[in-house]
Amino acid sequence: MPDSVTLLGTSDGLPSADRRHASLLVKFAAGTILLDCGEPCSHTLKRMGEDFDAIDVVVISHTHSDHIGGFPMLLQAMWLERRQRPLTVWMPGHAIRLVREWLDACYLFESLLGFPVKWVALDKQRTLHCGPVQLRAFRTTHLDGLRKQFGVSHPAVRFNAFSFLVTGGGKRLAYSADIGSPRDLQPLCAKPLDLLVVELAHFQPRALFEFLQPKNVRQVAVTHMGRAARARLAEVKALARKELGPRKTQFVRDGDVIRF
């Protein structure tokens, strides 16, 4: 089976009648990775017939609720589906204690789950392996504005957000998660990519497409579109064709599967 990405949720942070929140399932022959846990990712995984036991690693790019809101229900689903395999959770380090307390408040005690959870802090460990598949994390500027506004009043919060490069089987996949500007994509695009899954909620479409125009990216999947861009989707698609030419650019929807 070709390597694939399944878009479980493609919405921005606003409530949406037809889109679920940010989550995508990445499948390699050697491992399966869940990137972000926007709600209701566990429901979507079940509806699509995915095996909860097959997920090797859960990655949380940052702790905005539209990227982590479905996490407790995901662990509850794994527990009730009788998962026994260890699970690695890679997320911003400051939130690990808080998330574990959140799980306790939901009565999802780690001693109850029936499988061990290995918590790994993104801030301290920027590279993770899932068998022969390598994940590399790059800090982005997405939360810099919040840091300036609330950093003094909330010193325990680190305001860290990350994007990811996933390599394995000779393939290179990048996931922007949420970024402050297209310039945050530079380390992901430093070498050719087979697929870039990129958000379009926090900057203008033109800025994204002009940044990508000279980059060697075989496929671009635009997700997490803001309402303003989505309201003029035909115009945005035309701009993408103009700036990116024949490059394969998709404006993805929930449930889409991309082979790469």
Structural domains counted in the chain: 1
| Secondary element (H or E) of residue 201 | none
Phi/psi at 149 (5° precision): -80, -40
Q: Give, for all 260 residues of the chain, the pLDDT tens digit.
A: 579 999 999 999 999 999 999 999 999 999 999 999 999 999 999 999 999 999 999 999 999 999 999 999 999 999 999 999 999 999 999 999 999 999 999 999 999 999 999 999 999 999 999 999 999 999 999 999 999 999 999 998 999 999 999 999 999 999 999 999 999 999 999 999 999 999 999 999 999 999 999 999 999 999 999 999 999 999 999 999 999 998 899 999 999 999 99
Distance CA 230, CA 172 (A): 28
Query: Which residues are within 8 A (CB) of 97 and not within 5 positions of it... i.e. 6 or more apart?
Result: none
Domain that holds residue 64: 4-259
| Cβ atoms 248, 220 nearer than 8 A | yes
Q: Which CATH number characterizes residue 137's domain?
A: 3.60.15.10
Distance CA 45, CA 25 (A): 9
Distance CA 73, CA 77 (A): 6
What pTM does this model have? Answer: 0.96
Token pair, residue 168, equals: 């394995």
